[in-house]
Amino acid sequence: MELTVKGKIFTPTGMREGSVRISGGRIEEVGERISPSGEVLDFRGKIILPGLIDMHVHLRDFRLSHKEDFRTGTRAAARGGYTVVVDMPNTLPKVNKISVLKKREELGKRKAVVDFGLYFGVPEKRSELGKEVRRRCLGIKVYLPEDGGKEILEETLRFAAKEGLLVISHAEDPAFFRNGERPVEAEVMGIRRMAELSLKHHFRLHITHLSSSAGLGELEKWREKTKVSADTCPHYLLLTHRENPLFRVFPPLRLEGDRTALLSALRKGRIEAITSDHAPHLLEEKEDPAGPGGFPGLETELPLLLTLVKKGKLGLREVVRACSEAPASLLKLPAGRIERGYVGNLTVVDLKKSFKINPSEFESKAKYSPFEGRMVVGAPICTIVRGRPVFLDGEIMEGLGGKNVKTYGKVG
């Protein structure tokens, strides 16, 4: 199948009117004077971005399908402008066995609307680490304290280093939790512990959902010593601890000074990526003060970021770097750029479209949001995966079928 997309193309040096031609799922040509072929989508006046990648989502499914499943979660991604989402392994059952990993991949291929990646959890047995993980997974997810026990954790980290897999860590040390509270010290010490392990075992470390200025400072101390990167989330960039307790999240929302420090670091490129940490739960669970952390985010993430662009608090360049280029680079994917040979994933946005966030309209099964009622300016209007529109004219098209991005191969 061939597709030609016309509009203002985002490039590292600025915008330019032109066309992107995609053939066989790959970008074949980018330029101002391209002869259209195949289906033509004309978005003149709108912005064509490299397809967005969210490297931290929870699609639930399995025995948690009442909260979300691959279909509803990836429909949310498509509507939100995301061409690739990477699923966390803390499902029920956990994705830390090869047998479960294979079932997870098949589930994704059967139900996903956009493409997907998988992380593997720290296994109970060394025998679970091998070629199947290497072939099917983008990385290893680690929780502290020693996930599964110190011995198997370190064996898993050595495996990740050997195979070049990213280690993505929820870096909070429970030893510092007090009476249900998760102070900044827990994040600082969690980052320190994981960075020490990275220095020891030489794996690539990624700290996910960074929430505090102190955590950011700890991260900076390790940048010249080991390979470390980080992401943060829109809720840490826009909200503080004063928000409704319904919007409990881990790590927790912090102070205004933390929020502004994270936004500044993002602008400077000291935080590489932005993720949604899309974490749907039942509303009745969230209404319990001791309930689970997290909320849906895939359908609000991009409009919130584009609104920051509109207000002059972020540049569109930073959004593309954090939501397309950096995730692709960290995960070693031939995506995230509008260049010949890259996978034909595109996100088309209307920077002038304004609307009020209404969770009742979400594709996600979770119909609530800390951003409910907020006016946003800027929205995705088309999501293209491997040269096929999966979201267009307000409608989601499910015919393509999801693909494990581990099978993307290389540029070219």
Task: Identify the helix (H) or strand (E) that includes residue 216.
Answer: helix 213-222
Task: Kindly tell me if the per-residue pLDDT of 313 is higher than 90.
Answer: yes
pLDDT at 13: 83
Contact 69, 98 (CB under 8 A): no
Closest by CA position to 302, among listed 252, 236, 348: 348
pLDDT of residue 86: 99
Digit-coded pLDDT (tens) for 140-159: 999 987 777 899 999 999 99
Task: Show the domains of the chain with their CATH numbers.
Answer: 51-331 (3.20.20.140)
**Would you say residue 363 has pLDDT above 80?**
yes
Note the pLDDT tens digit of each residue in 290-305. 899 999 999 999 999 9
pLDDT band at 342 (very low <50, low <70, confident <90, very high): very high
* This prediction's pTM: 0.98
Q: Model confidence over 47-74: pLDDT tens digits?
A: 999 999 999 999 999 999 999 999 999 9
Average pLDDT, rounded, for the chain: 97
Across the range 94-115, mean pLDDT stands at 98
Q: Is 173 a catalytic residue?
A: no
At residue 74, the pLDDT reads 99
pLDDT in tens, 375-392: 999 999 999 999 999 999
171 close to 193: Cβ distance less than 8 angstroms: yes
pLDDT digits (tens, 9 = 90+) for 127-137: 999 999 999 99
For residue 250, give the nearest of 88, 117, 119 by alpha carbon: 88
DSSP annotation of 250 reads S
Q: Dump the DSSP string for 96-153.
A: -SHHHHHHHHHHHHHH-SSEEEEEEEPPSSGGG-SHHHHHH-SEEEEETTTTT-HHHH
Is residue 88 pLDDT above 80, yes or no?
yes
Read off φ and ψ for residue 158, nearest 5 degrees: -65, -40
Give residue 199's pLDDT band: very low, low, confident or very high (50, 70, 90): very high
Region 150-171: what's the mean pLDDT? 97
pLDDT at 37 over 90: no
CA angle, residues 283, 289, 291, in degrees to nearest 5: 55
Nearest-angstrom CA–CA distance, 79 and 392: 9
Q: Which of 61, 115, 147, 277 is catalytic?
A: 277
For 246-269, what is the mean pLDDT? 97
Model pLDDT, residue 310: 98
pLDDT in the model for residue 272? 99
